[in-house]
A and B are shown apart, each in its own frame.
Chain A
Amino acid sequence: MPRPKVEERTTLLDARAMSRALQRMAVEILELAHGTHDLLLVGIQRRGVELAERIARLIEKEEGVAVPRGALDITLYRDDLGTVGPKPVIGETHLPGDLSGKHAVIVDDVLYTGRTVRAALDELADFGRPKRISLCVLVDRGGRELPIQADIVGKVLKTAPGDRVDVQVEELDGRDQVDLVR
């Protein structure tokens, strides 16, 4: 008889480490975008939205300038409706004004196959033509199925297909923590 699989949970980032990572990512975004002029942060539902908010506030503290942010739900742009079926709850998509001429930084919690980012690029294109789009993720776990890479990464790690990277944020989960579950 097969034994029930025991989940093994390792903490990759605790609250302090996550806070430091976000600080560094905020600075790197400023460097990449040469300041806040034209900068726009776009979080991917759900945890990407919270992380974008967090980074925007860090930038505001640093530069004293408000950074516009938006949220993107990419469900309707996925390419796997036929294989995984419809997702029952679709989140909100809103973008602050016209994207033309802006430098949009997509923010997400985990970069894995790259399919979510592919969908996000398609969706952004339907809202205008940013002059540049960059990608910023808290965790890059490898395993790409598309030629997509992040410009700014909080933490890189190697994972196996069965692994799960579990990102928790204060606003939704009551604490900041990133775990690897295998």
Chain B
Amino acid sequence: MSLGKDLTGLEHMTAGQIRLILDTAEPFKAVSERPIKKVPALRGKTIVNLFFEASTRTRVSFEFAEKRLSADTVNVAATGSSVSKGETLVDTARNLEAMRIDMVVIRHPSSGAAEFLGNRIASNVINAGDGKHEHPTQALLDLLTIRDKHGKIEGLKVCLVGDVLHSRVARSNLWGLTKLGAEVAVCGPWTLMPRGIEELGVRVFGRIEEAIEWADVLNVLRLQLERMEKGFIPSLREYYRVFGVTPERLERSPRAITIMHPGPMNRGVEIDSRVADGPHSVILDQVTNGVAVRMAVLYLLAGGRAELADAAKGGSE
């Protein structure tokens, strides 16, 4: 089993491939705990982090993952690069490739940008978020965090709360969770729910209280404030009052609900500070796991010639 050349999304991956990444991430967690947080697995590989959108957590997480595997990395941001002079995405990537790179990690505001690029260059491409499409490594680190906390994913009830409509994190989570056998629900104002989502076998809750009653895990999505003017919600205060995840609401749950958030958080909007910092929050574990999951993805793709990976599996210890 291998991952192929690129990681563009979880939609077309198999449950086996997703499990391979999660299992491979386990030993990488330990690497970050060592006195020398570095292994030579990707020595001599060159990786470009091509970020056309603002990002701190994801970019830094990828950069740590790359450096801890001994790869050489270059960061390119859209502002201050030739992109702002009107160069196309493919031209940018082809120019980078002419400098003999091995992998590209791309974040881009257009859905499908990672796959588009992957089909046009020979380097491995990893999607670090493309428009409203997918953010596969975020979903993978969410899956790993859930598995750490609950020991399994199959049969768990996971509810994505908030702006599901605009969220690539939600989309990747939906694919990953359903493939691994979790029950998935969404909860939020109907203006932020994608139409026809029930057809994917996803339960829809209109009230946060119902979601809390049902769920083992709440993955609270960031309310994308930049979309506020477009009239999706009346006001932030109104949103907090109706959908905010608060200790008072959680107290009514029959079980201790695991609280997740992909960040950056709007404290006091989608999530109350007492919940974000509370005993059932695994928000910082998600960040820690992010580095391990990204190391696993880079490692698996770097040696990712299908026939070779299969041979390695059937070979000796």
Q: Which residues of A contact B (CB under 8 A)?
A: 46-47, 73, 75-78, 81-94, 122-123, 126-128, 164
Contacts and interface: CB of A to CB of B under 8 A. Distances in A.
Contact of A88 (B1, B34, B35, B316): B1
Interface stretch (B191-199, B251-259, B263-271, B304-312): B304-312
Most chain A beta carbons < 10 A, residue from B35, B39, B302, B305: B39
B309 A85 contact: yes
B4 interface: no
Interface string B41-80: 1100000000000000000000000000100000000000
Interface string B18-32: 001001101100110
Contacts of B308: 83-85
B311 A85 contact: yes
Nearest to B36: A126
B178 interface: no
A59 B23 CA distance: 35
A83 to B, nearest CB: 7
A42 to B, nearest CB: 15
Contacts of B316: 164
A127 B316 CA distance: 27
Interface in B78-114: none
Contacts of A164: 316
B299 interface: yes
Given A47-B317, A93-B30, A126-B34, A84 B312 contact: yes
Given A47-B317, A76-B31, A84 B24 contact: no
For the complex of A and B, 8 pairs with smallest distance between CB atoms? A85-B308, A76-B39, A85-B309, A90-B27, A86-B303, A76-B41, A81-B303, A85-B303
A88 B30 contact: no
A109 B315 CA distance: 17
B40 interface: yes
B35 A127 contact: yes
Contacts of B40: 76-77, 122
Interface of B: 1-2, 20, 23-24, 26-27, 30-31, 34-36, 38-42, 69, 299-300, 302-305, 308-313, 315-317
B27 A91 contact: yes
24 contacts: A46-B317, A47-B317, A73-B27, A75-B27, A76-B39, A76-B69, A77-B39, A81-B41, A81-B299, A83-B308, A84-B312, A85-B2, A86-B300, A86-B304, A88-B23, A88-B309, A88-B312, A92-B27, A94-B30, A126-B34, A126-B35, A126-B36, A126-B38, A127-B34
A64 to B, nearest CB: 32
A86 B317 contact: no
A92 B29 CA distance: 11
B30 A92 contact: yes
A127 B36 CA distance: 7
Contacts of A81: 41-42, 299, 302-303
A62 to B, nearest CB: 30
A80 to B, nearest CB: 9
Contacts of B311: 84-85
A86 B299 contact: yes
B6 to A, nearest CB: 16
Contacts of A91: 27
Nearest to A90: B27
Nearest to A88: B313
A84 B303 CA distance: 8
B27 A85 contact: no
Contacts of A86: 24, 299-300, 302-304, 309, 312
Given A81-B302, A82-B303, A84-B308, A89 B41 contact: no
Contacts of A93: 27, 30
A61 B260 CA distance: 51
A157 to B, nearest CB: 18
B65 to A, nearest CB: 13
Contacts of A84: 303, 308, 311-312, 315
Contacts of B23: 88-89
Contacts of B304: 85-86
Most chain B beta carbons < 10 A, residue from A77, A81, A94, A127: A81
